Amino acid sequence: MDLATFERLLAPEGQELLSEVAARAGVESDLGLGTRLRKKHAPDLVAAAVTQNHLRGKAAAKFGADAPKMYFTHDALEQSTRLRVAAHRAERLAATGSTSVVDLGCGIGGDLVALARAGLDVRGVERDPVRAAIASANLRALGLGGEVQCADAQQVEIGRDEVAFIDPARRDARGRTFSTADLQPPWEWVRHLLAGRAVAKVMPGLAHDAVPGGVEAEWVSDGGDLVEACLWGAPFASTRRRATALPSGAGLSADDTPAAVAVADVGTYLYEPDDAVIRAGLVSELATTMGGWLPDSHIAYISSYRAETTPLARGFRVVDELPFREKPLKAALQVRRVGTVTIKKRGVDIVPEELVRRMKLKGPQKALIVMTRVQGQGRAFLVERL
């Protein structure tokens, strides 16, 4: 979709067309609907309306009730922050006393929406003219203030009262990138911003040693999915590493000195830390807060003798220990009449799906098995979820 087509989509004819497409979706096929509408409207406008309706349906997973009012492109929707994650970041920024934000590379404006709703004055900068127009339209569609300008983020002057927010592109010609060297705008420019009043959203796989000095790195999960690392510039940093689990908002933080925690055999309960906790390197800290220990100093499991409920970990009661080797394990499961097995593995050279397939189990019972390393040795445990 080019800019001229999008502007026509915003005009009365385009809005009426969008409404009709939405009303007839699921009643007529896309092919039949498109064929009928092209008799009254330009083909490119019809295609844009049908595409927008499809994208609005997909966007509901990220933007909820806002999605039917917003506009998207395929790529920009895929790259957009989930609304719940953007809201968490915006609310934390507002709590610092900041009043204005400039989003340097705002895309279609997903983060602008969250920032504006948190009570901040927002300005978006986007060099792609179509995305800039969409971001502006999305603010208006949701009744939010703010402005969007089409410009190069690196050439824009940041106001004295503005906090810079930057979400560098993490894709290149080969696809998704996992290296700071491939970020656009360049990583060195982002690092420079983070020395001052700035916040950057980066890949969740960011290495700890890549975090600039004086900057706080917050790893965020949403519904158990690790979604981003958020870097808080020096004036906003209150710790070195933080893990936040949404939707609960539960968090854990620590500076660079790891917590001292015991390493011992598996007890009555096993806990699998949230991926944000693992990526932030805070497993030992979580074990300490739970009164537990690590079965292995290099494996992200926690054990204890008491049941705990925490948004920062999934808990399991250890029912029994099973043989680790395949043939004895199969025999033990056959005795229990197990036919359906789910295997969770960590730190051991096993492909769960292949192991289950090879055992060819039959029976009415189900089993959940944790196969992991305990003090350097492979062990298997029959568990049940708390």
C-alpha–C-alpha distance, residues 90 and 70, integer Å: 19
Say what the pTM is.
Answer: 0.91
Structure confidence at residue 39 as a pLDDT band (50, 70, 90): confident
Backbone angles phi and psi of 144, in degrees to 5: -110, 150
Overall average pLDDT of the 58-83 stretch: 94
Residue 178's pLDDT band, with cuts at 50, 70 and 90, is: low
Helix (H, G, I), strand (E, B) or coil at 55: helix
pLDDT digits (tens, 9 = 90+) for 277-322: 999 999 999 999 999 999 999 999 999 999 999 999 999 999 999 9
Rounded distance between C-alpha atoms, residue 103 and residue 112, angstroms: 7
Report pLDDT for 29: 80
pLDDT at 384: 97
pLDDT confidence tier of residue 254, bands split at 50, 70 and 90: very high
Q: Which pLDDT score, from 0 to 100, does residue 31 have? A: 79
CATH for 81-238, options being 3.40.50.150, 3.40.50.300, 3.20.20.70, 3.40.640.10: 3.40.50.150
Q: Do residues 211 and 250 lie in contact, with contact meaning Cβ atoms separated by under 8 Å?
A: no
Rounded to an integer, what distance in angstroms lies between the CA atom of residue 168 and that of residue 180? 9
Q: For residue 32, what pLDDT is reported?
A: 81
Which band of pLDDT confidence, cut at 50, 70 and 90, is reported for residue 180? confident
Q: Report yes or no: 137 and 158 within 8 Å, Cβ to Cβ.
A: no
Residue 71, both tokens: 């506009």
Choice among 252-266, 296-310, 356-370 with the minimum mean pLDDT? 252-266
Q: Is the pLDDT of residue 172 over 60?
A: no
Distance CA(181)–CA(184), nearest Å, equals: 9
Whole-number pLDDT of residue 332: 97
Spatial strand order of the sheet with 121-125 comes to 147-149, 121-125, 100-104, 162-166, 198-202, 225-232, 216-222, 241-246, 250-254
Question: Which residue do the tokens 């208006």 mark?
Answer: 140
Average pLDDT over residues 52-76: 95
Q: What is the mean pLDDT of residues 95-123?
A: 97
Answer with the residue of higher pLDDT: 24 or 3.
Answer: 3
pLDDT band at residue 256 using 50, 70 and 90 as cut-offs: confident
Whether residue 177 has pLDDT greater than 80: no
* Peptide linkage before 247 cis (omega within 30 of 0): yes
Cα distance between residue 323 and residue 379, in whole Å: 7
Q: Hey, how many other C-beta atoms are within 10 angstroms of the C-beta on 313?
A: 26
In percent, the amount of the chain with pLDDT more than 70 equals 98
